[in-house]
Amino acid sequence: MIITLDGPAGAGKSSAARALAARLGWCYIDTGAMYRAVALVALERGLPLDDDAGLAALAEAIRIAFADGRVLVDGRDVSAEIRTERITQATRPVADAPAVRDAMKRLQRRMADGLDVVTEGRDQGSVVFPHADVKVFLTASAEERARRRHREEESRGCDTTLAAVLASQARRDEGDRSRPVGRLEPAADAIVIETDSLSREEVVERLAALVEARRGAGRR
């Protein structure tokens, strides 16, 4: 079975997806981390971020894997490095490149092949897994998303303000909504969950209930 979790930055997708996958014993695919990994290696190799074909070739050539909650590129743990602001910025042109998105789509489908998977991103239900068993679009107000991200960054020791987080989030939202391919939008058949007033546990409960309902429907 496949459950897709899409939505804007800060909607609580990653923590919910990780917890859901652990609870179900399923694989977890963090597709944002995959785009970040390509951006990291592109910078390391001095590849221009406007070289779409070069970036796509890079995306095809490196081996991205998830193991024990870590992100590995060719066996190297890049989990911390891909979360820096520098990589967040560099990921935008990488994720905007249609050829990279195409390579990622193929890779993500290969990763999920034959497995039970929770996959999380922007286009998982709309583009990559249009036949997913359960599609969810997680969202929250811009203020709530920024508050969560700010708390998270503070806990990682980053010195930043709520206003700065809100401004950077607004830029990312705009980019996510306006990219020509893989635009952030709920699939027509996605269930939208607004998480402002929900704890992470409540979100995971709802997701698990959707999976259970789908399994039940499959048995009938």
Which residues of the chain form contacts with ligand C5P (CB under 6 A)? 9, 31-33, 35-36, 91-92, 95, 121-124, 172, 176, 182
CB-wise, 2 or 95, nearer to ligand C5P?
Answer: 95
Q: How far is the CB of 217 from ligand C5P (least distance, A)?
A: 27
Map tokens 């890779």 to a residue: 107
CB-wise, 80 or 212, nearer to ligand C5P?
Answer: 80
Compute CA 122 distance to the chain's CA centroid, rounded to the nearest angstrom: 6
Contact status, residue 118 vs residue 21, Cβ threshold 8 Å: yes
Q: How far is the CB of 105 from ligand C5P (least distance, A)?
A: 9
What residues contact 53, with CB distance under 8 A and at least 6 apart? 99
Closest by CA position to 112, among listed 204, 1, 17, 35: 1
CB-wise, 24 or 125, nearer to ligand C5P?
Answer: 125
Map tokens 């391919």 to a residue: 181
Q: How far is the CB of 92 from ligand C5P (least distance, A)?
A: 5
CB-wise, 9 or 19, nearer to ligand C5P?
Answer: 9
What residues contact 130, with CB distance under 8 A and at least 6 apart? 187
Q: How far is the CB of 197 from ligand C5P (least distance, A)?
A: 22
Closest by CA position to 32, among listed 124, 115, 130, 106: 124
Q: How far is the CB of 205 from ligand C5P (least distance, A)?
A: 23
CB-wise, 189 or 212, nearer to ligand C5P?
Answer: 189
